Homo-oligomer: A and B are copies of this chain.
Amino acid sequence: MVTSVDTVTKKTVAVGPVALECGETLQDVHIAVETVGKLSVDRDNVVLVCHALTGDAHAVGDERDPGWWDGLIGPGRYIDTNRYFVVTTNVLGGCNGSTGPSSINPATGRPYGSSFPPVTIRDMVHVQYRTLQKMGIDRVHTIVGGSMGGMQVLEWGILYPEAVENLIPIATTAALSPMAIAYNDIGRQAIMSDPDWQGGDYYPGPGPKKGLAIARMVGMVTYRTDTLFHQRFQRRLQTNVPEWSRDATFQVESYLRYQGEKLVNRFDANSYLCLLKAMDTHDVGRGRGGMAAALSKIRSRALIIGIEEDRLFQIEEQRTLYRELREQGKDAQLWELRSPYGHDAFLIEYEKMGPVIREFLEG
């Protein structure tokens, strides 16, 4: 059974002015939202999906316009849109319909660019909460997301413990590790070193395409694994010349460069910088007396999913989260999957994750 495109509703929700953690206020914030399924009369069947760094609100689609989580969500799928009302929002700071650095600053009539304020994961979650309120939704059945999406899931459980019943953080962490901060900074330096970045005020120019492509390449190597690259590329060349030739390109290089170029065509470099920064600030314990104190606020059930081969958010980070919740007597489960895809398994391994998520939702 395939969901028809008619079942996906796209809209933009105006949430008004938003005071940010940094002390600045964004006027006239808009958030892009997509919904699939039907809100129940009791309004108790909402599944909120939080996307990762370069994701967007189009988690669920159809054959003509596939969503990035179609393998998990749809009619009759693991998260069944015949049963749940699935809501996905594009994050604050993004570039796919929500207010971000490329949006017009109402005060100046020009894009924010370098003047766009720093945004945190907590800011994103506050804005999501207000977006749902504007849509008439006060309670959420389940919040699910991987990577940066998983950070939002955790913050939801802490900031709005009474508003959410179930949390499913996937391939994520309670606080971004120094190694992940390091990788983020390489991407950041690549973008900011590109002369076309122009200090962030490059609109309506093309922006730092080369820098953003390199940043994406840095991301890709952390999202995948040695094993996968061995299986897929070995040392094969793309070109029919000897390896030592100036014109030689290995298939893995060709693949990575293609991934870089592909992102440049669909993503804004300033948004990328904004979201890297938001991830860097992710530490549930910040300003709350540490991780344990922060997690103590959670009232929801939690299914934590980790990937053993994840190089970016190491499995030990999910285990730490699980142990802490259990020690506090919370209703938490940990499920570890193995996958050569590494971190990106949360966007690929639906047959492995799906049944566990379905069982958790039914349990």
Contact = CB atoms under 8 A, between A and B. Distances in A.
B22 A185 contact: no
29 contacts: A22-B244, A22-B245, A119-B244, A176-B235, A177-B226, A178-B226, A178-B230, A178-B232, A178-B234, A178-B235, A179-B221, A179-B225, A179-B226, A179-B230, A179-B252, A181-B235, A181-B250, A181-B252, A182-B229, A182-B252, A182-B256, A186-B214, A189-B210, A189-B257, A214-B214, A235-B283, A243-B280, A243-B283, A311-B311
Contacts of A229: 177-179, 182
A164 B91 CA distance: 61
A250 B217 contact: no
Contact of A314 (B118, B210, B226): B226
A218 interface: yes
A260 B188 CA distance: 14
Nearest to A254: B185
Complex A-B, nearest 5 residue pairs according to Cβ-Cβ distance, in ascending order? A178-B229, A193-B210, A178-B252, A179-B226, A185-B253
A340 to B, nearest CB: 12
A193 B214 contact: yes
Interface residues of A, number: 55
A194 interface: yes
A244 B118 contact: yes
A221 B178 CA distance: 10
A124 interface: no
Interface string A194-212: 1100000000000000110
Contacts of A297: none
B214 A190 contact: yes
Contacts of A244: 21-22, 118-120, 277, 281
Nearest to A189: B214
Contacts of A217: 182, 185-186, 189
Given A178-B226, A185-B217, 11 more contacts: A118-B246, A176-B235, A177-B229, A178-B229, A178-B230, A178-B250, A182-B253, A185-B257, A189-B214, A195-B195, A243-B281
Prevailing SS type, chain A contact patch: helix
A183 interface: yes
A152 to B, nearest CB: 16
A214 B214 CA distance: 10
Contacts of A235: 175-176, 178, 181, 283
A176 to B, nearest CB: 7
A256 B180 CA distance: 12
A360 B120 CA distance: 55
Contacts of A183: 221
Interface in A252-280: 252-253, 256-257, 260, 277, 280
A291 to B, nearest CB: 11
Contacts of A120: 244
Nearest to A176: B235
A252 B178 CA distance: 6
- Residue in A176, A213, A226 with the greatest tally of chain B CB atoms within 10 Å: A226
Contacts of A277: 244
A243 to B, nearest CB: 4
Contacts of A246: 118
- Residue in A220, A233, A234, A252 with the greatest tally of chain B CB atoms within 10 Å: A252
- Residue in A22, A243, A250 with the greatest tally of chain B CB atoms within 10 Å: A243
